[in-house]
Amino acid sequence: MKKVFILLGHPDDDSFNCTLADEYQHGAEEAGHEVRRMNLGEMRFDPILRHGYRSIQELEPDLKAFQENVSWCEHFVIFYPTWWSTMPALLKGIFDRAWLPGFAYKFTSSFSWKKLHKGKTARVVITSDNIPFAAYILFGDTSNEIARAILWFAGFKVRIKKFGYLKHFGSTGRRERIKRKVYNFGKKAK
C-alpha cells in the first residue's frame, strides 16, 4: 500500500478533471492506499512570486499543507486541463511559490543539484479539447514543464497520461471508459 497525494489542478470543482480525481481517489481508497487530497479551487494563496527567489515570501497555510503532503506521499498525482498548451496559471503559481530550494531540490554546485524527492513516483493526468498527437505536432511536448522541469527535477519518476478531444468527441461512453481507466490507475496507485 502506498501513501498517495492527489492534487486537483483545475480551479473548478465542477469539471471533468474533478470527476477524474474523484475516480482515482475511489480506486486508491478501495485498494487500501492511504490518500490525501487538495483541490486548487479551495486553496488560498498568492500565486505570484513577487521577488523571484531573491527573497522568499512567507508561505500561506495552504502552501505549507501542500509541501507537507508532497513530503508525506510516496506517489503524487496531479489532474489538470491544458490551457494554451500549459497548466492553468493558478496551478503554476503553486509550484512557483512552494517548489523551493531546500524543499524540492538543493543546488550542490553550478551544474548539479540534489533531488530532494528522489525515489517517489508521480502520475500527471492532462485533459484537452485538442487531439494530444495534433497538439504535439503543432506545439511540441506540452507536458515537459510539469514532467521534467518540475517533478523530475525534484526526483520524481513521472508518468503522463493525456486525454484529448473531449469537447467534440467526449461522448458519455468515451468519458465512462476514461473514468474507468483512471479508477484503475488509482487502484494500482500508478
Q: Indicate left, alpha or beta for 189 from its phi (over 0: left) and psi (-120 to 50: alpha).
A: left
CATH code of the domain in which 142 resides: 3.40.50.360
- pLDDT at 134 (0 to 100): 75
- pLDDT at 170 (0 to 100): 60
What is the DSSP code string of 86-133? B--HHHHHHHHHHS-BTTTEEEEETTEEEETTTT-EEEEEEE-SS-HH
* Domain of 134, in residue numbers: 3-188
3-class SS of residue 158? strand
Q: Is residue 150 classed exposed, middle or buried when 0-12, 13-18 and 19+ CB atoms within 10 A define those classes? A: buried
- pLDDT at 169 (0 to 100): 64
> Which pTM value belongs to this model?
0.93
**Inter-axis angle of helices 16-30 and 172-188, to 10 degrees?**
40
- The string of pLDDT tens digits covering residues 78-105 is 999 999 888 999 999 999 999 999 999 9
Sign of the dihedral defined by the CA atoms of residues 187, 75, 181, 78, in that order: positive
**Distance separating alpha carbons of residues 80 and 177, to the nearest angstrom:** 18
- The string of pLDDT tens digits covering residues 138-169 is 777 878 899 999 999 999 999 999 998 877 66
**Distance separating alpha carbons of residues 71 and 43, to the nearest angstrom:** 18
- DSSP element (H, E) containing 178: helix 172-188
Number of domains in the chain: 1
